[in-house]
Chain A
Amino acid sequence: MNELLTGAVTGLLFGFIMQKAQVIRYDRQLGALRLQDMTIVKFMLSTILVAMVGIYLLFDLGMVKLSIKSTILGANIVGGLIFGIGWGLVGYCPATAMAALGEGRYDSLFGLLGMLLGAGLFAEAYPFLKATVLTWGNFGKISIPAALGVNHWIVIVILVAAFVGLFYWFEKKGL
């Protein structure tokens, strides 16, 4: 099927689901960052839980390919810290900013325009970053099970148990 068409259908469904889960709201995102409202954490961990099990099942059957990104400690840590500062200010991540606009929360439009500028600035800084931060602690395309040298299902079972434990705790605390 046409790549643009499948992208559109997938995005429509994903946007629909995110709106229904109320995860595209500034108040929910800041609520998570302020540790007051775990709605988006529940949503994200549930997504990861199902996708992790489903994709590794299909992977074991030889039906899908994994898409493992490089672990570069410098880039991941510095980038993550910068991302966190920006996220706390704008209150949306890139995809949720688009969805928030669809819902009528149009402060996200200014966030989206800023994101365009941020992408442009990153392109300007790329030659410098490539020679510095993007070389610090480069471990290549590793995964947790490969780095530990264990079967991936051991990691999956531990993570599923940890997520379910967290869910139980969130509900008990009314978060």
Chain B
Amino acid sequence: MRAKTWSPYVAGALAGLLLVLSVFLTGKYFGASTTFVRAAGFVEQSVAPEKVAGMEYFLKEKAKLDWQGMFVLAVLFGSLAAASLSGDRRAVPVPAMWEARFGASRVRRWTLAFLGGVIVMFGARLADG
């Protein structure tokens, strides 16, 4: 538990077992991107409720906190706990590989991360994954 790293094979197998247990005990398969739709619907609802009420996709994926919403939030805390136990938690504003190629500018990295986030989620929703 305090080790900095586990073999990806062992960790992957454990994640597989966790998925089997989850499906067996609660019928839930893992997913994350639907939660971003619900969260976006929640944010837009507080600004323009009439608009959201008429949007087909937000009717399909309602702005509510469900199993997957808790799953996605808890992933952050699980990672925080694991990193804390091994003393591996530290603030990294720009990843090393990015910095080696594109420089240490935070604005550049954060802008591209934001843009990438927009694109990756649009694609994930389109492919339904």
Residues of A within 8 A of B (CB): 1, 3-27, 30-31, 39-40, 42-51, 54-55, 58, 63-65, 67, 69-70, 72, 75-76, 78-95, 97-108, 110-127, 129-130, 133-134, 167
| Residues in chain A near residue B17, CB distance under 8 A | 50-51, 54
Interchain residue pairs with CB less than 8 A apart (21): A6-B67, A7-B74, A11-B75, A11-B77, A13-B18, A20-B5, A21-B11, A26-B98, A27-B97, A79-B126, A85-B123, A90-B113, A95-B32, A98-B76, A102-B75, A103-B89, A104-B83, A110-B111, A111-B113, A116-B43, A119-B37
| Residues in chain A near residue B46, CB distance under 8 A | none
CA distance A15 to B30 in the complex (A): 12
Q: Give the contacts of B96-117 with A (CB-CB under 8 A).
A: 96-98, 106, 109-117
CA distance A108 to B109 in the complex (A): 10
The chain A residue sitting closest to B60, CB to CB, is A126
Max chain A CB contacts within 10 Å: which of B69, B71, B89, B121? B121
User: Contact between B33 and A129 (Cβ–Cβ < 8 Å)?
Assistant: no
| Residues in chain B near residue A13, CB distance under 8 A | 18, 78
Q: How many residues of B contact A (CB 8 A)?
A: 93
| Residues in chain A near residue B26, CB distance under 8 A | 1, 3, 6, 10
| Residues in chain B near residue A129, CB distance under 8 A | 126
Q: Which of A9, A40, A120 meets B44, CB within 8 Å?
A: A120
Residues of B within 8 A of A (CB): 3, 5-20, 22-30, 32-33, 35-37, 39-41, 43-44, 55-58, 65-83, 86, 88-98, 106, 109-129
Q: Which of A47, A75, A101, A119 meets B40, CB within 8 Å?
A: A119
User: Contact between A54 and B40 (Cβ–Cβ < 8 Å)?
Assistant: no
User: Contact between B125 and A43 (Cβ–Cβ < 8 Å)?
Assistant: no
CA distance A95 to B22 in the complex (A): 17
Nearest Cβ on chain B to A163's Cβ, whole angstroms: 10
Q: Which of A10, A42, A106, A119 meets B33, CB within 8 Å?
A: A119
